[in-house]
Amino acid sequence: MPDASFELTQVTAAYFRRPGMPEPMPQVRDAEQNYCTQEWHATLQSLYWAIGERWLNPPHLIALAENKIYQLTLANSLGFMIPDTLVSNDPLAIKKFADRGQIVGKPLRNAVVTGGNRERVLFTTRVSVDEETDADSIKACPMILQREIRKKFDVRVTVVGEQVFAATIDSQTDPATEVDWRRMSKAGLGHAVYQLPKAMADRCIALTRKLGLRFGAIDFVLDQDGQLWFLEINPNGQWGWIETRTGHPIAAAIVSELERIANA
């Protein structure tokens, strides 16, 4: 709101949920717009730091936790099963990796490609490498490559404080979502409550804590033998559709955790 103000001391708990970048006032000239935007951004960053431990997830730790290589390293140290993984832009190394079985590829950081008049989303995709593959396209930038795990279901685990909510996503009923269920509307796939083993639930809480977070949305593959394979954790992931489809009380858990922070 224009001209609104508040005391930071009055903030007892806060939920950082993807705020947009500040926009300069319309009377600011083009040459100074970027400068003003960056100054406002720096000011907001200072305010975020001032809130300190009262965040559900501190913004600077969200940024660190989004690093997929860091996630995989921590998950491995905690004993999660992780698909064989290669991060590379070396055509020979990638071909050797692909020769041992079907692999999938995904971006390290940015899943959206903009250019011209269109925007593309980079989903996890099966990757094939042979003598006809354009080596220069591989060399352009690194990517994450992993051995494909034959799925029974995808599993989304939402951690809120000490509470853990798990749900299966029936991604294998549609060829378009076999590799990445995000290719289709979430409402179009079957969802069900999943009873996560306690040891795995404790491990999910431990990973979230190791990242300095109180909330995390973790993606797994449940294979044909009933084994869970860790893919990644989203420190600011969506959860509303999971609550709608399964009845998991995630919103109430977030409110409860914010109240606990406020009263600590």
- pLDDT at res. 118: 76
- pLDDT at res. 117: 74
CB atoms within 10 A of CB 144: 19
Cα dihedral sign for 149, 153, 156, 157? negative
Query: pLDDT, tens digit, for every residue of 164-214?
Result: 999 999 999 999 999 999 887 766 899 999 999 999 999 999 999 999 999
- pLDDT at res. 116: 67
- pLDDT at res. 28: 78
Task: Kindly list the domain boundaries of the chain, sorted by start residue.
Answer: 61-82+150-263, 85-147
Q: In what order do the strands lie in the sheet with 228-234?
A: 191-193, 163-169, 151-160, 215-223, 228-234
Cβ pair 82, 230 in contact under 8 A: yes
Q: Does the pLDDT value for residue 236 go beyond 70?
A: yes
Average pLDDT over residues 98-118: 85
What is the chain's mean pLDDT, rounded? Answer: 91
Cβ pair 97, 86 in contact under 8 A: yes
Q: Single out the residue of 145, 180, 157, 138 nearest to residue 233, CA to CA.
A: 157
Cβ pair 264, 56 in contact under 8 A: no
158 strand-pairing partners: 165, 217
Q: Does the pLDDT value for residue 89 go beyond 90?
A: yes
Query: pLDDT, tens digit, for every residue of 67-85?
Result: 999 999 999 999 999 999 9
- pTM, two decimals, is 0.91
pLDDT category at 99 given cuts 50, 70, 90 is very high
Query: pLDDT, tens digit, for every residue of 29-44?
Result: 777 888 888 888 898 8
The architecture that CATH gives domain 61-82+150-263 is 2-Layer Sandwich (3.30)
DSSP reduced 3-state for 217:
strand
